[in-house]
């Protein structure tokens, strides 16, 4: 038993240290943030690409649109949860993450829902209009911030 005491004390010390700061001590660098953001964007893009595969009827495409919205919102949440760098890069990271979420909720989701409704209503004209609305969203303010950070996988159009 007495041999276990030093081991327990050491393990307890590690446990107490692990209960301290959740952020591991220091903020990530701009490059680390960009790398983490790119991973999130790349993973979301892969998942979103899979969603529409095999969808051939308007109802299947409408269901796929719901899944795209869900995956996009998950990515927005993950980006918002990333630890941010200090200073100006942290400010840019905040503008990027919040801008992405706002653009998603205020522009992309409504355009996707408009497309979904047009498909469900079998309204070709409305579907074309919704597709045109989506194309207008290719280059956004959050894309600009993503490029400033070096998170190029998160930046859309050029």
| pTM as predicted | 0.75
112 in a structural domain: yes
Residue 3 phi, psi (nearest 5)? -75, -25
Q: Tell me the C-alpha distance between 16 and 83, whole Å.
A: 22
Domain span at residue 40 reads 30-154
Task: Work out how many domains the chain is built from and give that number.
Answer: 1
- What stretch of H or E contains 16? helix 4-18
102 in a structural domain: yes
53 in a structural domain: yes
36 in a structural domain: yes
pLDDT tens digits, residue range 18-27? 344 444 558 8
143 in a structural domain: yes
87 in a structural domain: yes
Residue 157: pLDDT band by 50, 70, 90 thresholds? low
107 in a structural domain: yes
């Amino acid at each position: 038993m007495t041999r276990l005491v030093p081991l327990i004390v050491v393990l307890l010390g590690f446990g107490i240290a692990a209960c301290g700061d959740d952020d591991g001590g220091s903020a990530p660098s701009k490059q680390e943030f960009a790398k983490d953001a790119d991973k999130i964007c790349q993973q979301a893009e892969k998942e979103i690409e899979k969603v529409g595969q095999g969808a051939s009827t308007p109802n299947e495409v409408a269901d796929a649109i719901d899944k795209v919205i869900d995956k996009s919102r998950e990515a927005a949440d993950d980006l918002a949860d990333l630890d941010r760098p200090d200073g100006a890069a942290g400010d840019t990271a905040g503008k990027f993450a919040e801008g992405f979420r706002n653009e998603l909720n205020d522009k992309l989701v409504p355009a996707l829902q408009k497309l979904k409704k047009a498909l469900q209503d079998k309204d070709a004209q409305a579907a074309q209009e919704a597709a045109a609305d989506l194309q207008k969203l290719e280059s956004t303010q959050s894309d600009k911030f993503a490029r400033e950070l070096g998170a190029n996988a998160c930046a859309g159009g050029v």
